[in-house]
Structure formats: C-alpha cells, structure tokens
Amino acid sequence: MATSGADTPRQVIQVREQLHETFDGVIDDSDIAHFRGGNYEQRFLSRALAALAVRRVAQCSAAEAARFVTDGIADQGLDAIAPLPESGQALLVQAKWSDKGTATFDVDAAKAMVDGLNRIENELYDQFNQRAADLALEARPFIVNKKATLVIALMGTVAPSPPAREVLDNALSEFNRHGARLRVEVLYAADFHDQIHADLRPEPIRLDVRLDDWYQQKGPLEAYQGTVSAESVAEWYETHGTGLFEQNLRAPLGTTVTNAEIGQTLTSDPTKFWHLNNGITMICDSLTARHDSAKSPQSRPTTLTVTGASIVNGAQTVRAVARAMHDDGEAAANAMLSIKVINTHQDREFGVQVSQAANRQNAIEQRDHIALEPVHQAIKANLRAELRKQYVIKRGEPVAAPETGCSLDELALALACLYPDAEQAARAASSTENLWEQGPQGSHTLLFKREPSPQKVWRSVLTLRAARSAVYELGGGQNTREAAIVEHGGFLVTHLIFQHLGATSIDDPDFDWDSEVLEKIPALVPELVRRLTHQLLTGYGPRPQIRTAFQTAATCRELAKQILGDLADGVAVPAAPAKERKPRRPNTVPLLVDRRVIKDGSPLKYVGLNEPERDAMERWLAEDEMRRQATWVNHRTKPILWAYDKQQYSPSGLVSKMWADAEWDERPVSNQGTARWFVTDGRSLWDLAQRIHNEDEEEGA
C-alpha cells in the first residue's frame, strides 16, 4: 500500500484505506497481480473507485459492485458496466484515481467514454475484454429501451473541462433524441468520503416492540408506555448487543452488585420484577403502531415497529435481563418490565436531551455527558476510516484491545500530556475527573477544541502507553523519593517526553515516530526521573511535598521549563541518590478499602503476569469473556465480584480458582492476586496500593 506523504489530503487517505478494506480480495485482480508496488496500487485503486461509484449510485453491496468492474485491457473507456434490473437502468462508469485528490476529466476521457457507449449501442461486443463484453450484453437492453447513466468518478474536486462537457452534451443530445434515456452524473472526492463514512456507520436498529397494558401519551410528541416481556428484551440484546445503547450516555457497566441483584430477582422471583425495577426508556427515529384490536385497541396488546431504536435509560437492566435469560431462561421469561418509547423524528438534539434527562436520577458522571459531544463522534469515524482503529467513547463499553484502538479516557490523558502547557499534566495528576471540565479554560474544551487528526490521536496514545510502561518498569527499584516521583510524576514525565522528542512533529506523516520517539522512551524515562528528583531537592528543599508538586500547575511549569532547558543545553544528568531502606507496608486489600481508592462497581480485568500463565489461561478465558471480567466491591476480605458466577472472592482466591477451573497442571501453589486484577486506567490493585505507600512515605520523609 502506498505511503501517505505530507501532501496527501486526509480525505484521500481515508478513502484509500476504505477501498482496500472493502474491496481487497473482492475485486478480481488476477490480470494485475504480477504488478508490484505503486504499479499495482494505482490499478487496484482505479478499479475499487469504480466499484465504490457503482455502490453509491446503485445502493448495492460491495460484492455486487465489484462484479461490475471491467477495468483493464480493452475496457473501451468503461471501468465498470452495471446492468441493474431492479431499477431498470445501466450504469457506465469511468474512474480517475489521484493520490493527491487532484483527478480531472478531460476531453480524451470523455471521448473514450462515449466511444465505449457507442460500441455497446452498435453491439460491438468482440471489441471488449471478456468481462466487459458479458456485462455490455446484459446492459444494452437498458441503454436502448430504458435508461442509462454515465458515471464519472473523480478522486478530485474539479468539474469536467468545458471541451469534455461538450463531448458529453453531444452524446446526450444524440441518445435523448427520442426520449430522456441517458444522463450524466459526476462524483467527486467529497462524495466518496461521504460514502465511506456512511458505510462505517452502523445500520439503524429496527425492532418490533410488543406492548401490554399500554397507553399513548397525548401531546405533540408521539410516545407510548407499557410493559414488555423480559424474553423480548433479551432477544434485542442478543441480536444487537451494545448497539442498542448508541445514544445512551454510557454502555452497561458489567457485573455490579446492583446488576447481580437484578439478575437474582429475575430468576428467583420474576413476578415481582416489574415492581422492583424502573424499566427502560427507548427513543427512535420513527415508529408505526399495529394494534391487535381495531374497535378497542387499548384492550389488547399493540406492536410498535421502531426504526433507529436506542435505549437511553436502562442499559444496566437490559444487560442483566439478557444475562439472566442466558442463565435461567425458563424462569426469567415470565418477567415483565416497564418501557417508554419516544419518537424523536430524527431530532438528534432532542434525543440527547431525553438521554440526559432520563439518567439524572442515576450516578451519571461528567465524563458520561462528554461521550455525546460531536467531536468524539468525529474522532471515532475518522480514526476508523483512516487507520482502521476503534475509539471507545462511552463508559461501560468494552475497551478495545491495545493494538486495535483506544478509549476516550486514554486519549484525554495522552492529549493532556501532549498539551504545550504543563498545567494539563498537573490537572490530570490531581484527578483525571478534571479532564472532563468544560468552559473556556476547562481541560476538555482546551484538549478537544479542535478535532485531533487520526495520526495525532494514535501517536499520542502510543506515546502515553510507552511512557507508562517505562515508568512502571522503573517503579519499585528506586529509592523512596524517586519511587514517589515515579508514582506521582508520571504525567509530567510523559509531558516532558512529548516536548523533548516530538510534539511539533506529531502530525507530520514523514516523521518516523517509532524510531524518533517510541524507541527512545525506555532510556529517557530514568533520566527524566533523576532530573526531576534533583530539581525538587535543590529547588524545593530536602523534604519536598512530591505529590503536591506534581498537582500544582506553577510547579509543573517551572520543572518542565528547567528540565527541557537542561536537555536542550546538554546539561549532564545528576547522580542518582542513595537507596533508602523501606519499612514494612500494610496489606493491599484492607488498605484500598480503608482509603476508598476504588469506587464500588468499578470494572476489573484479569491479566496473567507472565507468558506461561497467559498461554495456559487464554483458551479457557476466550471461551467466555466474562471469565476475565469482575467488579470491585469495598469488602475487606472478598472485594472481587466475578462476572462469570456473580460470587465474591479475594483476589488471590479467585485467581487460584480460575487456574484450577482452567486445569492448568503446572500452576504455582500460591499467587499474588492483587497484581493480576487491573482497573480501567491500566493499573493493578497492587499498583494502587504502592501509590498510597509512596504518598505515606513521602509525608513521613
């Protein structure tokens, strides 16, 4: 695949990526497979663009569009010929690809296209290659007796030249002499960019909602309320998954104590479920009602056919219902729950208002409201289109595997560290909740004022990950003060990495980010920690308040200015201070519970510590993803609520059980469970405890 230079427009990059993803292995390239590099690439992209043009005009599948491609020797100026019986027309396509988005359609191209049309009119099939001849034979009846469209597909922005337009107009005059049979349609780069984004958007969800005990809300807004069976709700989730919550502030949060109780009620006492549950709220783009009774409709059930359905309140209930049906479908099927269905008539702003209002009674965080901001929807679409990476926006959505994408939380942290002013790193160190603050000087406003390019998004996230990994590796081997700096100063360290190595080049596609930034991080982090230690001890006294220093904007600015200046001037790295002996520390779980470090219901994920463990466990874990998931409960001895069986365990006790259930024959006798359960920001329970220890030691230093 061709590389993307600095002069390649993002629009072109995204279209090219999607042409490959959509048509690789779908378009017949047997006659050009012997070409290499750019020679193959340009030929393939021309064919794929022709297929995308057919797909856009005919509204057909990618496989159907690919079947109509004729591009090659003896295509007679027609890169695709598409006979379309359902719409009673034929499409004749000529495609012009340009890596720079500057494709044009000149008079020679117009003459070639019209000449191809005339050959089909005159039945000169033997002058086409075999594929084109077969398609031309199919297309001719539509061209002669019905209608045809000359489709000019340009990866460019300039209209066909006047001489080319004259050739086309002459052809239109000749073919339309006895009726309007022929027309011309020009597609530009913007049309293809719009099409690939439309293809990436999920199809609107269509549901049949059968309501009992229902009534229709009076007023200008169409809305219904009634009861629906748990079995129906579970079927929706089974079919559409988290797509049901597209316009919700958050996705289901996984197994929590509350959700476990919902499931228990469903299976143990389903007749009381309606009384004990608030039900769900659904919005949709349109709906139609089909009543079981014409004379007295409200005396019988009614079925709402809704399009563009999204559950904006009750995601936790839906997820718990689906799980209960999976565990004990016979019992849970008897349950009913309340549902409200509101037709927004595609009014997105009103849909957001409904979602926000429906969730006000729940523990909704400021970060949840951020999820509906248009900038994050744009980042998601462009990251997917250009780099084929996922962007997980909502709290509760499954976090993408590291190599496949990132989350909003991760990107916000990365951009805070990348920001030129070290104040954003200080805000993040004080509390990551600060990243969602809006207003003129709010962190979210400053970090996302302009949509970051997909390249900036991915490079900044990779840098954050590499820095955190290097900081973690450095962690425990330091003296007390350096360990505290590693713990509290990680965001400022990452800020220094960005500013020293490549912040100004992050959007430059020709800058080798891997070798110039990522590969240098492991060696740079220890040096930065040592410089920070030296600056704090010399500038802020022998007992500096380390945690406070990294949470204070003015201090972070001063430290960053001094260290970046020293790096630029080649000032030598200060000598490492002597290692200090550490006192015995309290146990991890009681410490975390006492300090209330983790909120009840926070998701946890099991990660094996080493390669043998990961190899031994992966197949068993992959059989049911619930096995690696849990949530935190502030319980002194059993803080892990396992998603798989909804029982509480100690961290080490659950790991031992999992090893045994997976039949890992060579499993160790004991384990450090707290090092294997991770919160969403990538830190283990053990890491969180170490942070508290370092804070305590710092204050006692």
Q: What is the pLDDT of residue 576?
A: 61
Q: What is the pLDDT of residue 32?
A: 86
Do 510 and 456 form a contact (C-beta atoms < 8 A)?
no
Band (2; pLDDT cuts 50, 70, 90): very low
CA dist., res. 501 & res. 521, Å (int):
9
Q: Please give the average per-residue pLDDT across 503-517, as a whole number.
A: 90
Concatenated DSSP letters for 56-101? HHHT--HHHHHHTB--STT-TT-SEEEEETTTTEEEEEEEE--TTS
Q: What is the pLDDT of residue 284?
A: 92
Most confident of 139-148, 199-208, 679-688: 139-148
pLDDT for 127 beyond 70: yes
pLDDT for 53 beyond 80: yes
Band (673; pLDDT cuts 50, 70, 90): very high
Band (513; pLDDT cuts 50, 70, 90): very high
> What does the block give as tokens for 434?
């600060």
Give the chain's count of helices (H) and strands (E). 28, 18
Q: What is the pLDDT of residue 3?
A: 44
Residue 669 sits at the vertex; the CA angle it makes with 663 and 670, to the nearest 5 degrees, is: 110
Q: What is the pLDDT of residue 522?
A: 93
Q: What is the pLDDT of residue 594?
A: 80
Q: What is the mean pLDDT of the chain?
A: 86
CA atoms lying within 13 Å on the CB side of residue 229: 14
Q: Please give the average per-residue pLDDT across 264-280, as a whole number.
A: 75
Name the pTM for this structure: 0.58
pLDDT for 519 beyond 70: yes
pLDDT tens, 438-465? 888 889 999 999 999 999 999 999 999 9
pLDDT for 333 beyond 80: no
How many residues comprise the chain? 701
Q: What is the pLDDT of residue 634?
A: 86
The proportion of the chain whose per-residue pLDDT surpasses 90, expressed as a percent, equals 47
Band (536; pLDDT cuts 50, 70, 90): confident
Band (7; pLDDT cuts 50, 70, 90): low
Q: Please give the average per-residue pLDDT across 32-44, as a whole number.
A: 86
Give every CB contact of residue 58 below 8 A, 6+ residues apart in sequence.
64, 65, 82, 84, 87, 91
Most confident of 222-231, 360-369, 471-480: 222-231
Band (250; pLDDT cuts 50, 70, 90): low
CA atoms lying within 13 Å on the CB side of residue 485: 28
Residue with tokens 């509350």: 258
CA dist., res. 243 & res. 319, Å (int):
12
Give the start-to-end residue ranges of the domains of the chain. 10-199, 203-364, 408-569, 588-700
Of 26, 47, 52, give the one whose Cα is nearest residue 35. Answer: 47
Q: What is the pLDDT of residue 364?
A: 53
Cα 623 to chain centroid distance, Å, stands at 24
Q: What is the DSSP letter of 398?
A: P
pLDDT for 399 beyond 70: no
CA distances from 609 to 483, 614, 693 (A): 21, 7, 22
Q: What is the pLDDT of residue 362?
A: 44
47-56, 249-258, 527-536: the lowest-pLDDT one: 249-258
Q: What is the pLDDT of residue 6?
A: 52
pLDDT for 278 beyond 90: no
Q: Please give the average per-residue pLDDT across 295-313, as a whole number.
A: 87
The proportion of the chain whose per-residue pLDDT surpasses 70, expressed as a percent, equals 89
Q: What is the pLDDT of residue 461?
A: 95
Q: What is the pLDDT of residue 37?
A: 81
Do 303 and 289 form a contact (C-beta atoms < 8 A)?
yes
Residue 534 sits at the vertex; the CA angle it makes with 531 and 538, to the nearest 5 degrees, is: 145
Q: What is the pLDDT of residue 31?
A: 84
pLDDT tens, 599-658? 888 889 999 988 889 889 999 998 988 899 999 998 888 999 998 988 999 999 999 999
201-205, 229-233, 298-302, 523-527: the lowest-pLDDT one: 201-205
Residue with tokens 């830190």: 683
Q: What is the pLDDT of residue 1?
A: 42
Q: What is the pLDDT of residue 236?
A: 92
CA dist., res. 337 & res. 665, Å (int):
46
1-5, 134-138, 690-694: the lowest-pLDDT one: 1-5
pLDDT for 254 beyond 60: no
